[in-house]
Amino acid sequence: MKQDKIFLSIVIPCFNEEKTLKDIVEKVICNTKKYRIEILIVDDFSTDNSIKVINNLQKKYKFIRLLAHNNNQGKGAALRTGFNNLSDSDITIIQDADLEYDPSEYEKLIEPIIKKNSDVVYGSRFLSGSERRVLYFWHRYANGLLTFLSNVFTNLNLTDMETCYKVFKTKILKQITIEENRFGIEPEITAKISKMNLVIYEVGISYHGRTYEEGKKIGLKDAFRALFCILKYNIFR
């Protein structure tokens, strides 16, 4: 796979992210100049000015596509919509619409696919010495517990199952049917790739987490749903 020929799809689920959406899209574009790209922004029925921001971005960049939901469904549903509308790209990257994850790390995220023939890459917030904002103890503990339980059933040795940065060969991603509508997509997709005899890598990434006051959306009920999904997609499927 020649690097200058690579076609990247970046799928960005969006719900009420008018404050950060333009910045994150500009960062994505700035860090993908050597690739052919498409950016699929899936608006999950935002009630702020997110759609207006996307429309303005589309006027400037022809490779941006807007996919809009008629009602709020959740991150998993937004990603499902994005995945169902992918072009025949080489690699697909999931990118949140906030500024917690840094697109400057795309190159090292896709390197295992380019150089080592990996099928899937997870960006781990806990694997490296990269900078990480210090926030909630219980979030970190819950993440570690969910990752551990997921690993027990998948027999993978991931350090960060809940990471946003999941990167796939697009042809692999198109073989996966997403069922979860909310944050249960993380253990669901992990369970499903674990059964596909794939080459999976992890790379360390930085993380600039948000507080709830700054717009963080995941909560306790999502942790319980993730636990349910670990059991559902590993044991009952």
- 154 with 234: CB under 8 angstroms? yes
Q: Give the per-residue pLDDT at 218.
A: 66
pLDDT of res. 208:
84
Are the beta carbons of 206 and 123 closer than 8 angstroms? no
- What was the pLDDT predicted at 129? 58
> Which has the closest alpha carbon to 96: 143, 52, 44?
44
As beta bridge partners, residue 91 has 8, 169
- Spatial separation of the C-alpha atoms in residues 161 and 231, rounded to whole Å: 14
What contacts 77, CB < 8 A, 6 or more positions away? Answer: 44, 69, 181, 182
Distance CA 184, CA 150 (A): 12
Low-confidence stretches of the chain (pLDDT < 50) are: 212, 215
User: Which tokens in the block code for residue 209?
Assistant: 């987490």
Residue 212 confidence (pLDDT)? 47
Domains in the chain, please, with CATH?
3-235 (3.90.550.10)
HSE-CB at 140 with a 13 A cutoff on CA atoms is 10
Q: What is the pLDDT of residue 134?
A: 57
**Tens digit of each residue's pLDDT (9 = 90 or more) over 128-175:** 756 665 555 667 778 899 999 999 999 999 999 999 999 999 999 999
pLDDT of residue 9: 98
pLDDT at residue 35 in the model: 97
CA–CA distance, 191 with 17 (Å, rounded to integer): 29
Distance CA(20)–CA(167), nearest Å, equals: 22
DSSP notation for the chain: --GGG-EEEEEEEESS-TTTHHHHHHHHHHT-TTSEEEEEEEE---SSSHHHHHHHHHHH-TTEEEEE-SS---HHHHHHHHHTT--S-SEEEE--SSSSS-GGGHHHHHHHHHHH--SEEEEESSSSS--B----HHHHHHHHHHHHHHHHHH----S-TT-S-EEEEHHHHTT-----SSTTHHHHHHHHHHTTT--EEEEE--B----TTTT----HHHHHHHHHHHHHHHH--
What Rg, from alpha-carbon coordinates, does the chain have?
17
* First vs last C-alpha separation in the chain: 34
